[in-house]
Structure 1
Amino acid sequence: MTLTMTQTTAGGKAPAAAILLLALATGCTTAPPEPVAPSAQEVVPEAPAEPSPTLLPPMPTSRWDTTFEQTRAALRARDWMTAEQTLASLPEDLDAADRSRRDFLLARAAFLRGDLERTDALLTAGPEEDVPAALRLEQAEFTREIAQLAGDWLTSARIGAGILTQQPADAGLRRAIWRDLNRSSEAAMATALADAPDADWRGWLELALRDRRAENPQSLQEALLEWRNQHPTHPAAMQLPGGLEYIARGVRAPRKVALLLPLSGRLAPAARAVQDGYLAHYFAARARGETPYTLDVIDTTAHESAAAAYGQAIADGAEIVVGPLSKEAVAELGQIPERPVPILALNRTDSDALQSGSALVQLSLAPEDDAQRIAELAYGSGARKALLLRPAGERGARLEDVLQERWQALGGQTVSTASYASAEAYSDNIKNALNLNASEQRASDIRSMLATNIEFTPRRRQDIDVIFLLADSPVEARSLKPLLAFHYAGTVPVYATSSAYSGVPDPKDRDLNGLRLAEIPWLLGSNPGLRVAIAAGDTGSDSLARLNALGADAWLVQSRFAQLQAGADALLRGDTGLLRLDPSLRLQREPVLAVFDGS
């Protein structure tokens, strides 16, 4: 059974209450000053500009303006049925401009109900010259959003770059373009660059490729300055996206870093896997002839508390601390009122950390990120009505809440949910969720009424077009996925969090054939050199591949700490997913779509 990545190759303000103090983040290209630990108020990250309103030319007046506005109001309320009924009152003999407005609004209604083919047909129904200029720009933005939701990142970015030439002040659009480029593969961008039709689009692709190919902040700084000299009037040149502006200004590397991990006790195997991922990057840098900082690895279990281990790191001269690993240890450091040295924690706490003194940034493999992502992936595919299956208990309920919030915000609807407390309950719970018990009861009633034994095939409910599976383990997923097919739901797409896959190929995974998974890039082929180096070691930690990736991303974020000063604009392409900073200084992770292909 092979897990394959699926990819089509065709915002907000920086936190105010949680001000970033990144003691290592900025510097100059001349000799840096001695490191100090200023207060959180001394460095305030620049807030990205608010997206400017769309600068549309005026729409031509029409006798049907009231009807069109009523339709738009219904669409804003996600009421596609009322929108279509309102447009049905229009006559057939509309002029070209009104016909294009009607078709565009019908396309939006079709998208809301998940009919992507009709959406595409309506958007291309008439000649482009019939479309008013104001509507043409709105159509382009709608088409970009559809491509983005569908995972056609390069198409979305290319359309966005075209719109930006007409709306150069739109910071939100610049942010969206950069995020789409970071989602795209290097090979796809290189191919697109060879065929790029205009200078602005070429500039975007060149910038993304320079960022992708840089091995360290110093070489990236040189690449950014060279790009800016070549593209002085490019929309991204004034303020480089994703936090790259802070790299371009110069970065002083730390002289000493402390890695805080529980290297003995219950969490030792996990800690070793994280350490291996981190050290693979560290030694690769040394092999390239770079001069990495001094690294201290501190066993947190040898100290009475995480705070004590943090204190030792500071006393030994660490300028940044990576770790600790457990949620409890991260929560403890989060309550330190004045941190003299910034912390990149390797777990996510339930409550916000105090953000006075130096920053505490949280990087993790939180399953909540997977839950949000499968909602987005399903909606982008055209699904709108979901069945949700989850284990009973606090974790299952928490993931359901996260998924439901994102699913409903997008416009999806959950028509049935089922929770299960044991393997014995799997089948009955699925039957109930699919209304098969009701179908069987109807058949029984008919047999009784006719006093004969008629042939009968149960009929499941027909109002679902996607199933969300929040399994706790691969064992659960391998049991539940075949049961869905057994209970007549085998043709409905099933999306699951990464907990459904162990990360290690297993012949038993054939039961997951067709499952769509939110997975980390590391397991789908990113950074092959590091993975080979870890596998060649004698620790055996490559069996904990996701934790290897967490360690690799800890090194990445630490080396690019300067970018985090961009706040919500900061964006890093990691081995655990696309990383962006939220207002509580948690790095939200966007995994990628993977599908079990049956091979």
Structure 2
Amino acid sequence: MTRMTTPITAGSHWAGLALALVLGSGCSTAPPEPLTPPPQAMAPEEPVEIAPELPPPMPVSRWDAVFAQARAALQARDWMAAEQALAELPQTLAGEDRARRDFLLARAAFLRGDLDDSQRRLAATRNAATPEALRIERAAFSAEVAHLAGDWLASARTGAGILSEQVGDAALRRAVWADLNRAEESALAAELSTATDRDWRGWVELALLDRRAENRQALQEALQQWRSEYPEHAAAVPLPGGLDYIARGPASPSRVALLLPLSGRLAPAARAVQDGYLAHYFAAQARGEPSYALSFIDTTAFESATAAYRHAVAGGAEIVIGPLSKEAVTELGQLPERPVPVLALNRTDSDALQGGSALVQLSLAPEDDARRVAELAYGSGARRALVLRPAGERGARIEDVLRSSWQTLGGSVVGTASYASAEAYSDNVKNALNLSASEQRASDMRSMLATTIEFTPRRRQDIDVIFLLADSPAEARSLKPLLAFHYAGNVPVYATSSIYSGVPDPRDRDLNGVRLTELPWLLGSNPGLRVAIAAGNTGSDNLARLNALGADAWLVQSRFAQLQAGADALLRGDTGLLRLDPSLRLQREPVLAIFDGSDLVQP
């Protein structure tokens, strides 16, 4: 078979992109550094944990049975039952009992969606006699509320305060580090300039040095210095996010192969991924980072993805990135043995066999958008949702993921409307809002009174958020104005990234006010790399999301060893915050954006 490997050379069509990145590298943020993945099977390792220091129990109270009943109801997310139980308590409660009641009522108000009442009741407990166990529980609840509201630093600061007393809480360490990674670098720098608590300063300094390190060696030195300054810190052993595996300093790979369909139907998508990867590759070269051999293999020239993979291995690849299609990834996932690890650029529906080296899956799965959009809406105080989605398997699948996440949080879906054609948009929206029933009532009233009456249709009042799961910007631009036309213009609308093309469009003014999940890449992350891709004149910058996927392929490859931290592994990518699940799928957390007129901005 003819060898279909394309090495990077000065004469290749990527030379313009390389030159643009070398000249423009000063504008780009420093990406993570190359790192050799383990050649053996990569099963996520459990982090070293310190036994948690449990807080003392609540003091005994004559009202313990009532408090226990309310807590059980809150655990089941039944705020009404919790409030009914607490109503049995006398209004004249004092001291610790009053603090416990007000805290439980604050939790119930949050579940109910009344965020102002929740905060008012929570504030009332701060001046009351508070048992230590309740104080820690209250802090954890405050951190959760701040996290759902997108106040990352407040959430992280509160969580770090709890960790200073309970250093062994691995889940809380994970949450604090994730919130610090969600915060903008400028916000971290501002926080550091005013922070006085030494433990909190340690957290912020660690997040900043990880963000700012120029290369692997600089990061390793910075981590060593940080540990020497904070040897007893809650984040010191192990370092969060899998940074311990960076600190150990493995060597870089000598050869990397990308398996992409560089010809045929998927060629434009493949070249967009390729350009995103190369943007990071050449930026790293411009900073003088260690070089490695890189080749691209056209998967369409082989009879199967397996054959392309074996060709890459025979050529000496130490890690394989790709393939791109779901079918090809599924095929590699069923291989009983893989000599070198794979970073696949799609996600399979079934678990991959993990005999041999790992198969890690990175993708732009819309399910990740659906989960995130549920969290964002819930954090805003919405609890009762109407779902608008296209008919068909894909719309049903996305709704199922959204519904599951929404209900797990504590929200309810009070109605769903699916549409099969543009002609049906108006009728479907009208019926979903129960306007037809309102009109029928008016008609019945006219008949009964035998006279003409003034009438304004009244939509259903049991919704406080609308989830718009449109397949395309055109669908969304048609549906959003219909909501206002049918008297639902004041209901917040949340959507997935499918409503935005990735390219500014004046027609998006019809989406004004819609909140959606989007890639950091499209909201300004790594601007130098985007400029370089455009300057390379490859034409792929119109497929910006796939550029971002390629950029994150480089990121994950460069920090592949961090994935050995398992659930602790965390990477701040251009497609979102990346976490590894037990099936070695990288779950992606996009960010909140909003349409301001036709412009997409971060609120």
TM-score range, shorter chain: over 0.9
Structure 2 counterparts to residues 224-373 of structure 1, below 5 A: 224-373=223-372
Give the Cα separation in 1 of the matches to 2:157 and 2:117: 23
Structure 2 counterparts to residues 402-441 of structure 1, below 5 A: 402-441=401-440
Give the Cα separation in 1 of the matches to 2:101 and 2:164: 27
What CA deviation, in whole Å up to 9, does each residue of 1:400-429 have, x standing for no partner? 111111111111100000111111111111
What CA deviation, in whole Å up to 9, does each residue of 1:292-327 have, x standing for no partner? 211011111122211111111111111111111111
Between 1:446-455 and 1:271-280, the stretch displaced more is: 446-455
What CA deviation, in whole Å up to 9, does each residue of 1:472-498 have, x standing for no partner? 111101111111111111111111110
Q: Which of 10, 17, 37 is the matching residue for 1:25?
A: 37
Report the AA paired with residue 519 of structure 1. Answer: E
Alignment correspondent of 1:502 = 501
SS in 1 for 2:592: strand
Contact 1:216 1:559 in 2 (8 A): no
Give the Cα separation in 1 of the matches to 2:444 and 2:213: 70
> What's the offset of the Cα at 1:133?
2.1
What CA deviation, in whole Å up to 9, does each residue of 1:201-254 have, x standing for no partner? 011001111111124333322221121112111111110011111111112110
Alignment correspondent of 1:517 = 516
Contact 2:566 2:581 in 1 (8 A): yes
Between 1:223-232 and 1:500-509, the stretch displaced more is: 223-232
Aligned-pair identity in percent equals 76
**Residue 206 in 1 paired to residue 205 in 2?**
yes
Alignment correspondent of 2:102 = 103
Aligned CA distance change for structure 1 residues 50 and 289 (closer, same or farther; 3 Å):
closer
Give the Cα separation in 2 of the matches to 1:306 and 1:454: 69
Alignment correspondent of 1:588 = 587
Contact 2:369 2:496 in 1 (8 A): yes
What CA deviation, in whole Å up to 9, does each residue of 1:41-60 have, x standing for no partner? xx654213679667222322
Between 1:45-54 and 1:538-547, the stretch displaced more is: 45-54
Figure out how many residues of one structure are paired with residues of the other and give that number.
Answer: 565
**Residue 563 in 1 paired to residue 562 in 2?**
yes
**Residue 474 in 1 paired to residue 473 in 2?**
yes
Between 1:359-368 and 1:86-95, the stretch displaced more is: 86-95
**Residue 484 in 1 paired to residue 483 in 2?**
yes
Give the Cα separation in 2 of the matches to 1:418 and 1:70: 37
Give the Cα separation in 1 of the matches to 2:57 and 2:400: 42
Note the residue ranges of structure 2 that are not aligned, 5 or more in a row. 1-33
Report the AA paired with residue 112 of structure 1. Answer: L
What CA deviation, in whole Å up to 9, does each residue of 1:341-364 have, x standing for no partner? 111010111111111111110000
TM-score (norm 1): 0.92
Contact 1:242 1:563 in 2 (8 A): yes
Report the AA paired with residue 147 of structure 2. Answer: Q
TM-score (norm 2): 0.92
> What's the offset of the Cα at 1:99?
1.2
Give the Cα separation in 1 of the matches to 2:446 and 2:452: 6
**Residue 182 in 1 paired to residue 181 in 2?**
yes
Contact 1:221 1:248 in 2 (8 A): yes
Report the AA paired with residue 68 of structure 1. Answer: F
Give the Cα separation in 2 of the matches to 1:25 and 1:303: 26
Q: What RMSD in Å do the two structures reach over aligned CA positions?
A: 1.5
SS in 2 for 1:504: coil
SS in 2 for 1:456: coil
Give the Cα separation in 2 of the matches to 1:51 and 1:435: 55
SS in 2 for 1:210: helix
Give the Cα separation in 1 of the matches to 2:53 and 2:377: 29
Contact 2:254 2:292 in 1 (8 A): yes
Report the AA paired with residue 422 of structure 1. Answer: S
Alignment correspondent of 1:382 = 381
SS in 2 for 1:56: coil
Report the AA paired with residue 67 of structure 1. Answer: V
Give the Cα separation in 2 of the matches to 1:52 and 1:121: 35
Contact 1:522 1:546 in 2 (8 A): yes
Note the residue ranges of structure 1 that are not aligned, 5 or more in a row. 1-21, 27-36
Alignment correspondent of 1:221 = 220
SS in 2 for 1:596: strand
Give the Cα separation in 2 of the matches to 1:255 and 1:569: 27
Give the Cα separation in 2 of the matches to 1:444 and 1:129: 57
> What's the offset of the Cα at 1:109?
0.6
Contact 1:282 1:292 in 2 (8 A): no
Give the Cα separation in 2 of the matches to 1:23 and 1:182: 21
Report the AA paired with residue 474 of structure 2. Answer: V
Give the Cα separation in 1 of the matches to 2:146 and 2:443: 48
Give the Cα separation in 2 of the matches to 1:218 and 1:126: 48
Alignment correspondent of 1:574 = 573
Give the Cα separation in 2 of the matches to 1:290 and 1:102: 58
